[in-house]
Amino acid sequence: MNNFTLGRYLPMDSPIHKMDPRAKIGAMLIALIAIFFPAGWIGYAVIFAVVACVIILSKLSWGFIWKAMKPMMFMLFFLLVINILVVKTGDEWLTLGSFTIYSNAVIQTLYIAVRLLLMIMITTCLTATTKPLDMTLGIEDLLKPFQKIGVPSHEIAMLISIALRFIPDLIDETERIMKAQESRGVDMKEGKLSERVMAILSLIVPLFVSAFQRAEDLANAMEARGYAPGEPRTRYKVLKMERRDYILLLGAVLLLACMIWLAYFR
């Protein structure tokens, strides 16, 4: 269970790791928007080159990036099948009896595939180089302007950091309960449908009970230390934008401008 890569932080010493989370989140959002301009294959090549530079700078291995993409492959295959069935424009490529595969079906799928893969690369760059806690601090700061229209930015950040904090615990707990039920003769992997429903039930119910128990304990512990949401709070770690952070943001804006130019003014 400990081998999923998507969204995991990799502690390393690189300029990207040291950057301000706000700059990184901002740059990621701008880059994600840039992907959605119809800038063609040249545009995607440019984005890929920029993202590749960031990956090299952040000292992440390509194997790690590849592992993060793998879970998407199934989805992309599914998309290809649907597109082949639905899209009926472009040249006729292959005819099997009364069924024809059109070129646009494949090309459209490729476009979506490239976009998705780029998106995963960019988000992986962010999550692998930013500590979850720094990330939530960044999100809190970025949401601050929206506080005026009633967005509870601090509460949202606290919610996210608590959720992240409990993921490893819940994975451990799941493994433990699974083993305990397996000791009672539950077969988690095979069996008739009714047996499998029972097996899942015997896992989910105790997991929920203990998750609620943990939530209550944590709430009490926080209240016992005087936590009150919405009250003004100081921070142990104060974020500070430096020159490299502005350079990253500038780069992202330039990338966006480049995509707009490629899409509409060429």
Partner 1 sequence: MPITFEHVSHTYSEGTPYQYAALKDVNLDIQEGKITAVIGQTGSGKSTLVQHLNALLLPDEGEIHILDRVIKAGEKPKKLKSLRGDVGLVFQFPEYQLFEETVLKDVAFGPKNFGCSEEEAEEKARKALKLVDLPEDCYLKSPLELSGGQKRRTAIAGILAMDPKVLVLDEPTAGLDPAGTKAMMSLFYELNQKYGKTVLMVTHDMENVFAYCDDVAVVADGSILVHTNAQDFFRDSKLCRSMNILPPALIRMRDMLNEKGFDIPADVQDVDVLADYIAKQVKSHE
Instruction: Give contact residues for partner 1 (rule: CB under 8 A).
Output: 2-3, 173, 176-177, 179-187, 201-202, 205-206, 209-210
Least distance CB 130 / partner 1 (angstroms): 20
Query: 94 pairs with which residues across the strands?
Result: 101
SS3 of residue 93 by DSSP: strand
Burial of 164 (0-12, 13-18, 19+ CB in 10 A): middle
The amino acid occupying position 199 is A
Least distance CB 54 / partner 1 (angstroms): 23
Question: Are 199 and 178 in contact, with CB atoms under 8 Å apart?
Answer: no
DSSP string, 155-191: HHHHHHHHHHHHHHHHHHHHHHHHHHHHHTT--SS-S
Q: Which is nearer to partner 1, 87 or 207 (CB)?
A: 207
Least distance CB 47 / partner 1 (angstroms): 31
Q: Which is nearer to partner 1, 187 or 223 (CB)?
A: 187
Q: Which is nearer to partner 1, 89 or 213 (CB)?
A: 213
Hey, CA dihedral for 112, 116, 118, 122, is it positive or negative? positive
Least distance CB 121 / partner 1 (angstroms): 23
Spatial separation of the C-alpha atoms in residues 221 and 219, rounded to whole Å: 5
Q: Which is nearer to partner 1, 153 or 210 (CB)?
A: 210
Least distance CB 7 / partner 1 (angstroms): 18
Q: Which is nearer to partner 1, 197 or 250 (CB)?
A: 197
